[in-house]
Amino acid sequence: MMIEVEKKDLISLLSKTQNIVEKRNTMPILVNVLLECDNGKLRVFATDLEVSLTDEIPVIREKKGRVAVSAKNLFDIIKELSEAPITLTKKDNNWLEIRQNKSVFNIVGISADEYPVFPTYATQEFLKVEAAVLSDMIEKTIYSVSNDETRYHLNGVYFERNSTTGKETYRMVATDGHRLSLVDRQAEFKGSGMPGNGVIIPRKGLFEIKKLLDTVGGEFEMAVEGSQLIVRHGSTVLMVRLIEGKYPNYQQLIPQKLTNHALVHRETLLACLKRVSLLSNQKYKGVTLSLSQNRMEITSNNPELGDAKEEIEIRYKGSDIKIGFNARYMLDVLNSFDDDEVDIELNDQLSPGLMRPHNDSSYTCVVMPMRI
């Protein structure tokens, strides 16, 4: 195998693989990427057996062949080379020679036959989606994904098609048992490719999808085939193994008929929570919200550090209430909002609170209270 390729094309190709390759060495082979050259194209394959990516770039000249090499070592070397064509040559011992002008590097490789069987797909039924829409949906839900490996079905975002509103809507939901985020989007999706039943997309897969969406932009294609989600744009194909299992009935976690309503300026509340939580318990970040006519008092208390109190003006309709929340959870929610104003709805100190952007009823966040 011999390839001559432009540096900018090669670095762009390899950068997409860096977060996918397995760094924990549970399977040493997974620190490698597979390079394959044929028909004027250099293709790269990277996988950790859950998230897989393949892409290709044109080459200046080539002699076909295949080899697997360390993704990080290859990327680090290419990154430091100058902006000029680079030649990659596979040696008889599966080493890879990297040459540019007077610079020559030889890195250890392995036979392509040892690389894991790469996933494939046959479906041609794809859903077309705007990158900005899907990226926004991921950003508004991924922070609520659970880190608890024993509750594996909560280790991802639930994605489903919903027609209950009269229009076809796509919904993403995530919860870790302490908070929930739900976002609906209408009309931006077109075509077929998603099943009627929802699927659970794992956190790592979502991060890689979002990175791809934000890097390239434009219109993407998505499909589900068997137990994998396929996302593609041009020559880039990302395949994510879906989480098996039944997602909980998240509708039961969304409180109804809340009696206390507050309208708060987002930036004011955000800054206040950041300050007051500095003197809260460092692990649980508990703060107390006291709401009464047109005012919200936020307090924290940590015997080892001290206490803090701050008051902000709000528009409030309801009875006086005092309730505790994890400030970190509230900050995550507020950072995901785009509106200047936030609706907060509460029932009592033991019931979950509901937060929404004032002008976007299609985005709902639920935060469970804390005992302070």
Q: What does the alpha-carbon distance between residue 7 and residue 56 come to, in Å, rounded to a whole number?
A: 14
Sign of dihedral through CA atoms 226, 24, 156, 150? positive
Which residues touch 21 (CB under 8 Å, ≥6 apart)?
A: 30, 31, 32, 33, 46, 47, 48, 71, 72
Would you state the pLDDT for residue 196?
A: 66
Question: Which residue, among 53, 90, 63, has the nearest Cα to 232 in the 3D structure?
Answer: 53
| β-bridge mates for residue 366, sequence order | 180, 354
Is 254-367 a CATH 3.10.150.10 domain?
Answer: yes
Question: Considering the domain 2-114, what is its CATH architecture?
Answer: Roll (3.10)
Q: What is the DSSP letter of 273?
A: H
Question: pLDDT means per 10 residues in the chain (372 residues)?
Answer: 96 95 80 96 96 96 95 97 96 95 96 94 90 94 94 94 68 96 77 76 96 90 94 96 94 94 97 96 92 96 94 97 97 96 96 96 96 78
Q: Do domains 2-114 and 127-251 have the same CATH topology?
A: yes
- Cβ pair 159, 189 in contact under 8 A: no
Structure tokens at 211: 């990175």
Question: Which residue, among 227, 221, 235, 180, has the nearest Cα to 202 in the 3D structure?
Answer: 227
Would you state the pLDDT for residue 217?
A: 85
| β-bridge mates for residue 309, sequence order | 299
Answer whether 0.75 is exceeded by the pTM: yes
Would you state the pLDDT for residue 28?
A: 87
Q: Strand, helix or coil at 276? A: helix
Phi and psi torsions of 327, nearest 5°: -60, -35
Q: Strand, helix or coil at 128? A: strand
- Domain boundaries in the chain? 2-114, 127-251, 254-367
Instruction: Indicate the Cα dihedral angle 120, 122, 128, 130, nearest 10°.
Output: 10
Helices and strands (DSSP H and E) totals, the chain:
6, 28
Assign domain 127-251 to a CATH class. alpha beta
